[in-house]
């Protein structure tokens, strides 16, 4: 078996530093190149390392500022990470907690808050097998193709692992009046019964104000903006871009962003700026497509969606009369078994006949230092292995079967939950 390590013995058997192993090295490079081709989510992850022989759990401690509000505090969602900024409370805190009187002794003692968080390593791997006849008779460079396909698959798995871990953040915002995943889309439909026309659909989608509220929340939580201002230029039809946070979106959200406007009827302004209109072309992040307010957007074709997981679509009569809604939002039909599962999930009988719910799409804000991946020291991110069909052993007695494989260790960790924000919204179908 070759494991990206090359021997120095018999050239005829493929063990020399020349000949056949040179070809395998080319294959390896093809796989590695493919595995590194896309890094939309990985580019926003800090990288940590853990030594071998230290178990499978990685732990890290973080210290909270004395004046910080706990993430689980009841007021965190509305007021942010800092303790109350009400002027009366700040003044009172200085007067009662920090002021020193003449001859003061050991007063105004405070405790430092330490939080330990952890993650466990998991191993992933897949393989492609092939026969000696593929090498003999195929007109294609199948080995290179296999390597590239396996590398792309490994890349996708790695990106999906990071994406799914990031989406576990509890720092969340929702479109319209929604307060949870199951209520996203509640505002859709119309203002009068039956609310099926879609006249209020925009309330359930991404909006200029929702993005601004997200920025406000991140600033209150002391998240650090990731980019510098893109300064102006003399080029026609170009725009300056503010110092900004990054947000990862799917193509459905990008479609709706491009149509967002603000202003009065006679002073309407499109607020989304495509990346090609940035003044004095800046360094673009992987997948960057545009900006709005203090956010620069990264498009990911692999962005997941919560299909059929939002609010029930509006019905003209009672839940179960599917097909009444004629608005523009994407939704998913469920069969009877899926409807029963949804009913069980919601814990009530009112939706027993529900057969359609709105699709929900995330907008993810991975700010600096909010998330990290952890690697095992001395072990690369992705390890490629190969074995030629000519390798005779008990599992391959006739020298007819070979394979390519990859395996990797993965661990992800949310370092600062309050600085990793997700928004959940509906989108146009």
Other Cβ atoms closer than 10 A to 403: 18
| Confidence check: pLDDT of 261 > 70 | yes
| Confidence check: pLDDT of 425 > 50 | yes
What pLDDT is stored for residue 14 in this prediction?
39
Residue whose tokens read 């545009």: 290
Domain locations along the chain: 1-90+115-171+371-416
Average pLDDT, the chain: 79
Each residue of 13-72: pLDDT tens digit? 434 333 333 344 555 566 666 666 678 999 999 988 888 888 889 998 888 777 777 777
Each residue of 138-172: pLDDT tens digit? 766 777 888 888 888 999 999 999 999 999 999 99
Q: Residue 415 corresponds to which tokens in the numbers above?
A: 């370092």
CB 329 within 8 A of CB 426: yes
What pLDDT is stored for residue 1 in this prediction?
46
Each residue of 79-99: pLDDT tens digit? 666 666 778 888 888 888 889
CATH of the domain spanning 1-90+115-171+371-416, picked from 3.90.320, 3.90.75, 3.30.2400, 1.10.10: 3.30.2400
Each residue of 382-409: pLDDT tens digit? 888 888 888 999 989 999 998 889 999 9
Give the helix/strand (H/E) hosting 130. Answer: strand 122-131
Spatial neighbors of 319 by CB under 8 A, at least 6 apart, are 312, 350, 351, 352, 353, 354
Q: Which residue would you say has higher pLDDT here, 9 or 318?
A: 318
């Amino acid at each position: 078996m070759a494991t990206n390590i090359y021997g120095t013995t018999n050239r005829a058997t493929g063990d020399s530093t020349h000949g056949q192993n040179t070809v395998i090295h080319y294959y390896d490079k093809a796989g590695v190149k493919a595995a590194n081709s896309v890094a939309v989510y990985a580019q926003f992850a800090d990288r940590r390392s853990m030594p071998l022989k230290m178990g499978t759990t990685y732990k890290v401690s973080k210290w909270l500022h004395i004046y910080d509000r706990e993430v689980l505090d009841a007021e965190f969602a509305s007021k942010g990470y800092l303790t109350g900024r009400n002027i009366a409370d700040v003044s009172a805190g200085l007067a009662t907690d920090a002021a020193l009187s003449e001859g003061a002794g050991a007063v105004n003692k405070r405790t430092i808050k330490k939080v330990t968080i952890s993650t466990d390593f998991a191993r992933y791997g897949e393989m492609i097998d092939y026969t000696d006849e593929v090498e003999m008779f195929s007109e294609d460079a199948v080995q290179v193709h296999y390597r590239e396909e396996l590398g792309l698959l490994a890349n996708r798995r790695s990106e999906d692992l990071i994406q799914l871990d990031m989406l576990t953040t509890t720092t969340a915002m929702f479109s319209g009046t929604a307060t949870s995943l199951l209520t996203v889309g509640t505002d859709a439909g119309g203002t009068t019964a039956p609310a099926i026309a879609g006249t209020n659909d925009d309330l359930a989608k991404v909006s200029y104000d929702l993005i601004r509220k997200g920025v406000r929340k991140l600033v209150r939580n002391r998240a650090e903006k990731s980019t510098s201002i893109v300064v102006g230029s003399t080029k026609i039809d170009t725009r300056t871009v503010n110092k900004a946070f990054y947000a990862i979106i799917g193509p459905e959200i990008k479609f709706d962003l491009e149509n967002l406007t603000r202003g009065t009827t006679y002073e309407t302004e499109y607020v989304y700026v495509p990346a090609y209109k940035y003044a004095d072309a800046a360094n673009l992040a992987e997948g960057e497509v545009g900006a709005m307010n203090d956010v620069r957007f990264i498009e990911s074709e692999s962005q997941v969606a919560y299909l059929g997981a939002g609010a029930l679509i509006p019905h003209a009569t009672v839940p179960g009369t599917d097909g009444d809604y004629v608005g523009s939002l994407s939704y998913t039909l469920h069969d009877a078994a899926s409807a029963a599962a949804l009913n069980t999930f919601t814990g009530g009988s009112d939706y027993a006949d529900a057969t359609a719910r709105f699709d929900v799409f995330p907008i993810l804000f991975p700010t600096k230092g909010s998330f990290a991946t952890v690697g095992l020291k001395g072990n690369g991110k992705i390890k490629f292995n190969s074995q030629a069909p000519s390798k005779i052993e008990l599992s391959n007695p006739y020298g007819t079967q070979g394979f390519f494989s990859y395996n990797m260790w993965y661990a992800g960790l949310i370092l600062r939950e309050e600085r990793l924000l997700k928004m959940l919204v509906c989108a146009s179908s």
